[in-house]
Amino acid sequence: MSPSVPIVGAVRGRGAKSNQTGRFESASRQDFDDGWTDDDAAPAQVDTTLTAEKARVILTRNDSPDIGFDRSINPYRGCEHGCIYCYARPSHAYMGLSPGLDFETRLFFKPEAAQLLERELSKPGYRPARVQLGANTDPYQPVERRLRITRGVLEVLSRFNHPLGITTKSVLVTRDIDILAPMAAANLVVVAVSVTTLDRRLARAMEPRASTPERRIEAIRQLSAAGVPVIVGASPMIPGLNDHEMEAILERAAEAGAANAYYTALRLPLEIKDLFREWLAAEQPDRAARVMSLVRQMRGGKDYDPQWGKRMRGEGPIAELMSRRFRLARRRFGLEREIGPLNLEAFRPPPRPGDQLELFGS
């Protein structure tokens, strides 16, 4: 893998402001201004590169007590949406790349995802449980429009009648309503649409290549109208930056047909804390100090506390107030409708060529 290339200055249409070396690299490369930078020059542009990844399995297992599923599918590594707060950014360091700009510009895709999934689901000992698409990076990021890997995965899950959850920030999910609506009718799918802010300017800076807030609300509307149960994720809530929008986000989502809601507090593990601070200083200089102060007040005086049970919500008075506001708004806007559990009984590996002939030999 070729090393990350340091970037100096603003980059058009991207979230991260730098491209520092990943934590596992023996040599460190630092951005610096040598004095020859033209302050009036247009922001640099970094193109997206795609690399096919040869995966051996497609189902990823976890035993986290903080999430409601034990298996997930990630068709892509890295995410072009470029959300500055994305908790998946540090995973790019395992590829020898930077969690900064590399994460959103140097993407990996799994072209054999559908075939691998079919093979794993067909194993005699396989037992179905909800599988989550979008647990790490968004399955509907812009390259999916062309590569259609997520679409192939959905086709397999549909044929097997396998229960499914999806998390996304993209209106592109509505492309697959022809698959999702019949699955929803059989109680096999739920979709979570993340709406972090209703402020288009803030969204463009914080989540530069994700669908605009209005298009995400429209996705909720279209999915709900098609009978697909939708949960709105007001996530992440960042104190002093977007948390004041929580009630407005839930209200708009409820009007669009969402059935339920959740939220998480900003998480800043590993490299994300430096990337987020850098972004704050560039995009929200007047708020930066206060936002980080409030974040630390929710994390026991630190930028982040990874303890199970605390990492999603934080602790202390500010975290408790945020949780209380969420509960009240959720109740006020009717976002407490029951969803699930998803149907596990319908799971059936479809017959393969030759299966019927075996009946005559028994």
Apex CA 215: angle with CA 209 and CA 220, to 5°? 125
- In the numeric block, which tokens belong to residue 56? 């051996």
Q: Could you give the angle at the alpha carbon of 129 between the alpha carbons of 125 and 131, nearest 5°?
A: 115
Q: In the predicted model, is pLDDT for residue 2 greater than 60?
A: no
What span, in angstroms and rounded, lies between the C-alpha atoms of 39 and 36?
A: 9
pLDDT of residue 3: 46
Give the tokens for residue 346: 């319908």
Residues 6+ apart with CB under 8 A from 130: 68, 69, 71, 163, 164, 165, 342
Average pLDDT over residues 326-330: 98
30-34, 51-55, 78-82: least confident range: 30-34
Band of residue 222 on the pLDDT scale cut at 50, 70, 90: very high
Q: Using CA atoms, how far apart are residues 27 and 22, in angstroms rounded to an integer? A: 9
Q: How far apart are alpha carbons 259 and 232 in whole angstroms?
A: 8
pLDDT at 1: 47
pLDDT of residue 362: 45
Q: Please work out, in degrees rounded to the nearest 5, the angle formed at the alpha carbon of residue 75 by the alpha carbons of 73 and 79.
A: 115
How far apart (Å, rounded) are the C-alpha atoms in residues 231 and 256?
11
CATH code 3.80.30.30 for 49-339: yes
Among residues 312, 275, 314, the alpha carbon closest in space to that of 295 is found at 314
Angle, in degrees to the nearest 10, between helices 177-185 and 149-159: 30
Strand-pair partners of 106: 49
In whole angstroms, give the CA distance from residue 37 to residue 198. 35
Can you read off the two tokens belonging to residue 357?
Answer: 């002939």
Report yes or no on whether pTM surpasses 0.85: yes
Q: Please give the Cα distance from 320 to 286 (Å, whole number).
A: 26
